[in-house]
Amino acid sequence: MLRRAVIFLAIVLGIAAYCNFARVEPLPKADFPLMKISAEGTPVPIWSGPWSCVLDRRNGLLWEVKTDAEYLHDGDWTYSWFDGERGVENGGDCFFEPQRCDTWDLIRRVNEAGLCGRRDWRLPTPDELMSLVDTSVPPGYTQIDKHFFPHTRSGDYWSSTSGRRLSGVFEHLKEGAVAVNFGDGRQRTLPFRNAAFLRLVTEVEEPGSTASLFKNDGE
Average pLDDT value for residue range 57-78: 94
Q: Is residue 208 part of a domain?
A: no
Q: Is residue 218 part of a domain?
A: no
State pLDDT tens for residues 94-126.
Answer: 876 667 899 999 999 999 999 999 999 999 999
d(CA 213, CA 89): 31
More confident: 180 or 171: 180
Map residue 126 onto helix, strand or coil. helix
pLDDT at 116: 96
pLDDT at 27: 44
Total domain count, the chain:
1
Q: What are phi and psi of 147, to 5 degrees?
A: -65, -30
Q: Is residue 51 part of a domain?
A: yes
- pLDDT above 50 for 47: yes
Range of the domain at 193: 2-203
Map residue 89 onto helix, strand or coil. coil
pLDDT at 54: 97
d(CA 166, CA 186): 16
Q: Is residue 111 part of a domain?
A: yes
- pLDDT above 50 for 158: yes
Q: Is residue 215 part of a domain?
A: no
Q: Is residue 155 part of a domain?
A: yes
Q: What is the mean pLDDT of the chain?
A: 84
CA torsion angle 179 147 68 212 (round to 10): -70
Q: Is residue 212 part of a domain?
A: no
Q: Is residue 39 part of a domain?
A: yes
- pLDDT above 50 for 204: yes
